[in-house]
Amino acid sequence: MTFKVYYQPSKNTTPRRENTQSLYLEADSEAAARVLVEENTNYNVEFIELSGSLFCTTRPTRGCYPIPYRPRLRQ
């Protein structure tokens, strides 16, 4: 599954909304995603969510395909 991880670049500074960054990663669960980030970076993880931007199948012959997103604008 693809997860979007929101994080602060450093654990040593006070978190500020303006400094929040994000990354995408593949993991089996939300807990596994958190462990991957915490073991391999010095990031302060704020939030992890399942990404809805990709459709992934469990079959090895297929991959992940982007789902077109078109926001509707009110007129």
Predicted confidence band of residue 45 (pLDDT cuts 50, 70, 90): very high
How many domains does one find in the chain? 1
Is residue 61, in this structure, part of any structural domain at all?
A: no
Strands 2-8 and 44-50: antiparallel
46 contacts: CB under 8 Å, gap ≥ 6? 6, 7, 8, 15, 20
Separation between Cα atoms, residue 57 and residue 72, nearest integer Å: 28
Predicted confidence band of residue 12 (pLDDT cuts 50, 70, 90): confident
Q: What is the mean pLDDT of the chain?
A: 77
Is residue 73, in this structure, part of any structural domain at all?
A: no
The CATH number assigned to the domain holding 43 equals 3.10.20.730
Whether 63 has a pLDDT exceeding 70, the answer reads no
Whether 43 has a pLDDT exceeding 80, the answer reads yes
Is residue 59, in this structure, part of any structural domain at all?
A: no
Separation between Cα atoms, residue 68 and residue 65, nearest integer Å: 9
Is residue 33, in this structure, part of any structural domain at all?
A: yes
Is residue 62, in this structure, part of any structural domain at all?
A: no
Is residue 64, in this structure, part of any structural domain at all?
A: no
